[in-house]
């Protein structure tokens, strides 16, 4: 085979591999803790080590990072070195931006009569997040006399933090029908605020709750009235915003020399 053809085919293979890797980005992964590790898991007195946190953002809407901090450091002295970049960008169809934060930790000079002491470091990642569907919930509005049969219409939206389930009967009479919504946890973190709801187009929704209180360990269930002044198919978009907290842990041991 001609060497030029061989090189061309190799470039095609490499390029396709890169494209496949980039396309792995998915909004269903939310804010991913890609790495949370320490350079040395076992420290002797006065020894220093570095903790690295790598966040990968799959959210296609802006999230606001409120806090990234270590706590429960116990006998270790921790000094945050900073994050690069300072703010994480939103994801695109092909790219999930990353942020890296580092801390310098130092073991104490003396651990007394103990041969070793363990510390379970905890990380607090607190941010404003949202779930905004990428695809609409399509409802076909018809005059009551034109509806001879209905079927249950269901759709689920998620971002690895929460899950939004929507269901109703379709088609719907133009005069109105209830649509059922359920918001539940879908990740290892926790929702730390009420849910702020947004409905579009606003003229279709009537007397829908703008705020829903989260109950820890439970899902939030409620219904909403929808109607239309036209007998057409409508694209409904229901989104919610909230505060979210992730708290991964890291075990470190301090041992005598």
Q: 178, 225 in Cβ contact below 8 A?
A: yes
d(CA 112, CA 116) in angstroms, rounded, equals 9
Q: What's the pTM?
A: 0.83
Q: What are phi and psi of 16, to 5 degrees?
A: -65, -35
The Cα–Cα gap between 43 and 115 comes to 12
Check residue 216 and give its pLDDT. 72
**What per-residue confidence (pLDDT) applies to 28?**
65
Contact between 246 and 162 (Cβ < 8 Å): no
Look at strands 77-84 and 42-43 and give their pairing: unpaired
pLDDT at position 177, please? 95
pLDDT attached to residue 61: 87
pLDDT for the residue numbered 23: 40
**What DSSP element (H or E) covers 69?**
strand 64-71
For residue 21, the model assigns a pLDDT of 35
Q: What is the spatial distance between Cα 150 and Cα 32, in angstroms, rounded to a whole number?
A: 40
pLDDT at position 26: 65
pLDDT of amino acid 184: 94
Positions in the chain whose pLDDT score sits under 70: 1-28, 217
């Amino acid at each position: 085979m001609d060497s030029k053809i061989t090189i061309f085919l190799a470039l095609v293979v490499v390029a396709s591999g890169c494209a496949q890797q980039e396309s792995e980005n998915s909004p269903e992964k939310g804010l991913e803790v890609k790495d949370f590790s320490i350079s040395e898991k076992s420290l002797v007195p006065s020894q220093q080590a570095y903790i690295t946190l790598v966040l990968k953002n799959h959210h296609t809407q802006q999230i606001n990072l409120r806090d990234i901090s270590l706590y429960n450091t116990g006998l270790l002295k921790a000094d945050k070195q900073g994050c690069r970049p300072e703010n994480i960008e939103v994801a695109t169809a092909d790219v999930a931006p990353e942020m890296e934060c580092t801390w310098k930790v130092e073991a104490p000079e003396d651990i007394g009569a103990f041969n070793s002491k363990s510390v379970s470091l905890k990380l607090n990642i607190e941010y404003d997040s949202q779930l905004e569907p990428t695809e609409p919930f399509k409802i076909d509005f018809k005059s009551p006399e034109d509806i001879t049969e209905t079927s249950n219409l269901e759709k689920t939206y998620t971002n690895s933090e929460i899950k939004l389930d929507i269901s109703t009967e379709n088609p719907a009479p133009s005069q109105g029908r209830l649509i059922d919504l359920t918001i539940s946890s879908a990740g290892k973190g926790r929702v730390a605020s009420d849910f702020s709801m947004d409905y579009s187009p606003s003229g279709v929704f009537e007397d829908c709750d703008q705020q829903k209180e989260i109950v820890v360990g439970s899902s939030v269930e409620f219904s909403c009235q929808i109607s239309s002044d036209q007998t057409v198919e409508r694209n409904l978009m229901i989104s919610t915003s909230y505060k979210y907290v992730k708290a991964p842990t890291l075990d470190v041991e301090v041992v005598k020399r």
